[in-house]
Chain A
Amino acid sequence: MKELISLFTSAIVFGSVILFGATGEILTEKSGNLNLGVPGIMYLGGIAGLVSAFFYEASAAHPVPFVAVLISLLCAFAAAALGGLIFSFLTISLRANQNVTGLTLTIFGSGVANFFGGSLNKLAGGVGQISVSVASSGYRAVTPLSKMGPVGELLFSYGFLAYLAVIVAIAVQLFLNRSRAGLNLRAVGENPGTADAAGIDVTKNKYLATCIGAGISGLGGLYYVMDYTKGTWANDGTIEGLGWLAVALVIFATWRSVNAIWGAYLFGLLFWVYLYIPGLARSTIELFKMLPYLVTIAVLIIVSLRNRKENQPPASLGLAYFREER
């Protein structure tokens, strides 16, 4: 029982990281922009949160957790959105190839983050490991409800970002399907020519969706740094792996952020399940870690076979738009 609960809680923690990444990417892709820079953007969000919290804690005599959280949250969102802005400018204004730009952004983001992360570790001196304990404690603060036995542990033992991830996912779903602005945004991703003819500003919609989407994705990196690794940094490339899982999750969720919620937790379960299967060798552990990707491939096959239009990616995903001139 105890083991099962700890499996579920670690699945939810894991899932929350990629849920942010996937929700942001869903918003972006609904505008027709395929941003493969998600891993890089999550890196940017993570390092910006860490750096800002580090300098706040270093400069303030008595750092307050709430302020540390607020500063790092805003910085993470802004840095990630800036990554989205780079992508937007290159692909929307300059019409660069989206795949190439996205992959470049991934390399750029991880390079920047690991450079500054490594430098911070050096700056921190001592054991060579920085720790933003005040900010991290703010992120990991839980309510007394978490003490209520197994149920409390299962439902209430997480930092606030885990709940925010679910709220954002639901909000994105509602925005896309229930609001006029969401309808217009989806039209841009499906058929920009039609949207343009209907008087919708295609460029503005793509920019906003991509930057805000990137900001949301970046919070995944922040959650990883502040909660998952408790305010420390390691140049081990884990965020990149999580970023690609987030991209896979977008496909798994068939571009619906509500599906991404349970999809994220399922990915988390599949990822950690090896810990609870006795007698695994090191090599077989890696096989189990492949499960989320295998499930994504299975979903792709099933979705392609069923061929329902609603489950397909936005029709103009990955394509630059320019008005037809004669």
Chain B
Amino acid sequence: METVAAVQMKNVTKRFGTVIANNQVNLELDRGEILSLLGENGSGKTTLMNMLAGIYYPDGGEIFVNGKEVSIRSPKDAYELGIGMIHQHFKLVDVFTAAENIVLGLKEAGRLDRKVIAARVREISSRYGFDIDPNQKVYDMTVSQKQTVEIVKVLYRGADILILDEPTAVLTPQETDKLFAVMRNMRDDGKALVIITHKLHEVMDVSDRVAVLRKGEYIGDVETRDTNPQKLTDMMVGHSVTLNIARPKMEKLTERIEVQHLTVKDPEGVNRLTDVSFTAYGGEILGVAGISGSGQKQLLEAIAGLQTPEAGSHILYKDSDGREHELIGRNPLDISRMGVALSFVPEDRLGMGLVGNMDLTDNMLLRSYLNGRGAFADRKAPKKLAEQVVKELEVVTPGVTTPVRKLSGGNVQKVLVGREIAMNPSVLMSAYAVRGLDINTSYTIYNLMTEQKMRGVAVIYVGEDLDVLLELCDRILVLCGGQVSGLVDGRTATKDGIGLMMTQLHGKEGKQ
């Protein structure tokens, strides 16, 4: 009997506006195998799988399930085809028990008999070796237990094609081992599994085959036993592309920010940054590379005074007279008055930088509202500044009285950076400054950064495109799981080298 692939995707294309997320991707998945889908951030892994799960609908190409062409328009369609996806963000109701979450929305006959459901859940758990209490409330669960509920939910609905989107990102090594054991049990039971990941050691550990995506393109697939981490890194990051970003070298560097042993915990008590130390100099662009969620956000926010670092952490700011100031413990207003500007937070561009419903002038006023005399804010200066920013940075807007939310992403970005630069900062921090911007606007932003650097500002640039980091930055700090895995010279570093550092810590496999 000829074996029919569980899933076959042929020439699948997905666009978001002008951005192509997946371009003519071909992928095959067989029963009884674990396929790793490997790629950097933004390489289109999750988008591709979301098309199988019914979240997105492809713009082109065909999908075959069990040899038959299908059209998957909703998560319900996917369930009916036996496809279940476990998303990174769990879709669970906190105040419900595991069992209640598992049967949610199912149109089963009969009344809601919690005992029968619990028995079925236990049956599935014991078959694959899950550890789950059907009557436990979700809010009492650890992340790993919640994930188990998600997997059992999918199995309860009869899925035999399972997609796990970065399932280990939130797990401890022990929990990861348990998950992999369960995955192998499911594979041996004849199910088809896809694990989306960018951690090479996990790929080597759990999968039978690896398919690699890069910038939305399908690079190829290899049997896991025929490959090694170095080869996979090459496939994942590809060859360097020359971008021709100007990078003048400054002769005089001045110490600006010295971060010592910075440790930041999130509200759940998990370390997001562990013992991070580095120095940022005026007159250089310090790039920060790392897989998203490696602590970049916490690092910038700690410097801006928006995080509460653990005891023993120090962030020293050196002013132009050479005096040192401890930034930890100061409030964000003090810090920004000292000349530390946090700009561009595009994931949250409008959330933390600008107020969408307010116009350009009012957004400028956000920085200067304390300058006016008495109870009335001075509106003249900000209006002038807004007009100046619009003119100098070529912001496309009907006028300075237009609400910022009506502007396109690139123009919003320009308004934000224009305002921050107008503050005459001595430290300029930016995160994902060019995300979602077209190529010309991106270059405008790069040039603005470089201009600031030449004025002697210490620029900290968190980026995701390694090609850009390699051409824009003087030095690159690589984060891996909240720890510094390397600090390299931007002029001599290689893409491979940084790629490996992003996934591995000091030669060892990183936790993240």
**Are the CB atoms of B94 and A190 closer together than 8 Å?**
yes
Take A198-B104, A199-B76 as given contacts and tell me if A309 and B111 are in contact as well, using a CB distance cutoff of 8 Å: no
**Complex CA–CA separation, A191 to B104 (angstroms):** 12
The answer to whether the Cβ of B95 comes within 8 Å of any Cβ in the partner chain is yes
The answer to whether the Cβ of A236 comes within 8 Å of any Cβ in the partner chain is no
The answer to whether the Cβ of A200 comes within 8 Å of any Cβ in the partner chain is yes
Q: Write out the residue numbers on chain A whose beta carbons fall within 8 Å of the beta carbon of B139.
A: 309
B42 → chain A closest CB, angstroms: 13
Take A183-B100, A187-B104 as given contacts and tell me if A194 and B112 are in contact as well, using a CB distance cutoff of 8 Å: no
The answer to whether the Cβ of B105 comes within 8 Å of any Cβ in the partner chain is yes
The answer to whether the Cβ of A315 comes within 8 Å of any Cβ in the partner chain is yes
Binary interface profile of A, 147-178, with partner B (CB < 8 Å = 1, else 0)? 00000000000000000000000000000001
A264 → chain B closest CB, angstroms: 24
What secondary structure prevails in chain A residues at the interface with B?
helix
What secondary structure prevails in chain B residues at the interface with A?
loop
Residue ID in chain A nearest B92 by CB atoms: A194
**Are the CB atoms of A184 and B95 closer together than 8 Å?**
no
A325 → chain B closest CB, angstroms: 10
**Are the CB atoms of B91 and A309 closer together than 8 Å?**
no
The answer to whether the Cβ of A326 comes within 8 Å of any Cβ in the partner chain is yes
**Are the CB atoms of A187 and B96 closer together than 8 Å?**
yes
> Which listed residue (B91, B106, B108, B111) contacts A191, Cβ 8 A?
B91
**Are the CB atoms of A309 and B95 closer together than 8 Å?**
yes
Take A179-B111, A180-B111 as given contacts and tell me if A195 and B105 are in contact as well, using a CB distance cutoff of 8 Å: yes
B interface size (C-beta, 8 A):
22
**Are the CB atoms of A199 and B137 closer together than 8 Å?**
no
Tell which of B103, B104, B108 has the most Cβ of chain A within 10 Å: B104
The answer to whether the Cβ of B344 comes within 8 Å of any Cβ in the partner chain is no
**Are the CB atoms of B94 and A197 closer together than 8 Å?**
no
Q: Write out the residue numbers on chain A whose beta carbons fall within 8 Å of the beta carbon of B137.
A: 309
Take A183-B100, A184-B104, A194-B104 as given contacts and tell me if A199 and B92 are in contact as well, using a CB distance cutoff of 8 Å: no
Residue ID in chain A nearest B50 by CB atoms: A326
**Complex CA–CA separation, A195 to B95 (angstroms):** 13
The answer to whether the Cβ of A3 comes within 8 Å of any Cβ in the partner chain is no
> Which listed residue (B56, B76, B93, B111) contacts A187, Cβ 8 A?
B93
Residue ID in chain A nearest B79 by CB atoms: A199
The answer to whether the Cβ of A65 comes within 8 Å of any Cβ in the partner chain is no
**Complex CA–CA separation, A161 to B410 (angstroms):** 62
Q: Write out the residue numbers on chain B whose beta carbons fall within 8 Å of the beta carbon of A187.
A: 93, 96, 104-105
The answer to whether the Cβ of A193 comes within 8 Å of any Cβ in the partner chain is yes
Residues of chain B at the chain A interface (Cβ within 8 Å): 16, 56, 74-76, 79, 91-96, 100, 103-106, 108, 111-112, 137, 139
New A-B pairs, 9, CB < 8 Å, besides A198-B75, A198-B104, A309-B94: A180-B112, A183-B96, A186-B95, A191-B91, A194-B91, A195-B105, A199-B76, A309-B139, A326-B56
